[in-house]
Amino acid sequence: MPRSIALVGFDADDTLWHSETHFQAAHAEFERIVGGYVDLADAGVHERLLATERENIRLFGYGAKGMTLSMIETAIALTGARISAADLHRIVELGKAILRHPVELLPGVRAAVEAVAATHRVVLVTKGDLFHQERKVAESGLAGLFQRIEVVSEKDTASYARLLAEFDLEPARFAMVGNSCKSDIAPVLALGGWGIHVPYPLVWALEQAEVDSAHPRFAKVARLDEVPAVLAGWG
């Protein structure tokens, strides 16, 4: 099988374990804090924070630390610098709470990754703060299942192409599994690889994207334990 899929990549956040739920809870608490100073509806707090995060990704990257700095910047701007030091400290604690939160694996994750690892080489490809991602991988108990763990600043075609070059593998022999069409699926399809979308109930606004469901190298499954069967069919 010279062109069969030889390498399978797994996303981490919201594919193997819960993540976005914690970020959205922090966003909700942030709005409650800022709501003590401004009218939330009139101020467009959610939109202002999202715009600040979008701008700051280029400086801070992804993850809880960048989110916290963006919340502080947005709070100061929205309140005309009236927000108290005590409330700024509360915002800092929101970010720390995410960094400290224990890893909660999604149902059936270990069995699914083990099943794929029995027939393919598997790698973990995730983005975000390096320290936080390394801690989550270690706490997950899954690190030993992967031949390689990649923490990248952005999951785009360049990042995936670099990974495949290091494995000396053509894109047609690589499949990526993840919850984000924008980061996990679209770049891999663009390279000529395969993508398996495993949706998570919550999607960060900056990760929202669509792919053609009829694409011949794309599949969508409800649960991670369906991935081995999809790979077998593609094999």
Task: Tell me the per-residue pLDDT of 23-54, one tens digit each, with 9 for 90 and over.
Answer: 999 999 999 999 999 998 888 899 999 999 99
Total tally of structural domains belonging to the chain: 2
pLDDT interval class at 2 (50, 70, 90):
very low
Distance of alpha carbon 75 from alpha carbon 141, whole angstroms = 37
User: What are the DSSP E strand ranges found in the chain?
Assistant: 7-10, 121-127, 148-152, 174-178, 194-197, 218-220
pLDDT given at position 42: 82
Q: Per the structure block, which two tokens stand in for 24?
A: 């959205």
Q: Do 182 and 168 belong to one domain?
A: yes
pLDDT digits (tens, 9 = 90+) for 68-122: 999 999 999 999 999 999 999 999 999 999 999 999 999 999 999 999 999 999 9
Q: Last residue of a domain, which of 57, 76, 100?
A: 100
Q: Do 64 and 136 belong to one domain?
A: no
Distance of alpha carbon 147 from alpha carbon 194, whole angstroms = 19
pLDDT given at position 210: 86
Q: Do 188 and 123 belong to one domain?
A: yes
pLDDT given at position 3: 62
Element housing 24 (H / E): helix 20-34
Distance of alpha carbon 117 from alpha carbon 233, whole angstroms = 16
Q: Do 159 and 70 belong to one domain?
A: no
Q: How many CB atoms lie within 10 A of CB 186?
A: 22
Structural domain range at position 197: 7-17+104-234
Residue 1 inside a domain? The answer is no
Q: Are 176 and 196 in contact (CB under 8 A)?
A: yes
pLDDT given at position 1: 34
Q: Do 143 and 198 belong to one domain?
A: yes
Residue 230 inside a domain? The answer is yes
Residue 96 inside a domain? The answer is yes
CATH number at residue 142: 3.40.50.1000
Taking residues 130-141, what's their average pLDDT?
95
Distance of alpha carbon 170 from alpha carbon 186, whole angstroms = 17
Q: pTM of the entire structure?
A: 0.93
Report which of residues 202 and 16 the model is more confident about: 16
Taking residues 119-146, what's their average pLDDT?
95
